[in-house]
Amino acid sequence: MIKIIHSFSGIDFEGLATVYDLNDKDGYTDYWEFFDYLRDVFFTAPGAFYAVREDEKGYASVLRAEPYSDGYLIEALQTRSDIRNKGFAKELLGSVVRGAVIPEGLPIYSHIRKNNTESLAVHRSCGFKEYLEYAKYIDGSVYTNSCTMIYRR
């Protein structure tokens, strides 16, 4: 089942932390920084959402999306480590780009590390095309080790 979550209160943060391998609450400062980022920044942006593909154990694959430039930006597509390479990310990404949650006609972007061949393949299989040889993030920073892909409906 795929869920679209528009608020911090709707997210199962423990489930999200499991997918992102952030389970050491006491010794992993990124856990709490990520928690604060989602609560205080990400979910305060109008139109931002998390998409979650669940299985019998909980969160299986996740991604977040938020308004970006003239469209939306897909970020942090990840599948739980025990079930990778089984099509969960492709199913989730395909569902989001073909679904109704992002307004029709808006381009959908994604920044992917150039050496992340698995993610590049998943994006291509869902209809994304290479757009830029670098990634320009929402905060304005530019990374040349990533590329930008685009999906147009």
The residue ranges of every structural domain in the chain are 2-151
Helix (H) or strand (E) holding 19: helix 13-19
Fold classification of 2-151 is: Aminopeptidase (3.40.630)
Confidence check: pLDDT of 132 > 60: yes
> Rounded mean pLDDT of 38-48?
96
pTM value surpassing 0.85: yes
> CA angle, corner 61, sides to 34 and 128, nearest 5?
100
The single-letter code of the amino acid at 70 is D
Q: What is the mean pLDDT of the chain?
A: 92
Confidence of residue 124 (pLDDT cuts 50, 70, 90): very high
Q: What pLDDT, on the 0 to 100 scale, is given for residue 31? A: 78
Q: Where are the beta strands (DSSP E) in the chain?
A: 2-5, 49-55, 58-68, 71-79, 108-113, 129-132, 135-136, 142-143, 146-151
Structure tokens at 85: 């390479």
CA 42 vs CA 34, 70, 90, 147, 153: distances in Å: 10, 18, 23, 22, 25
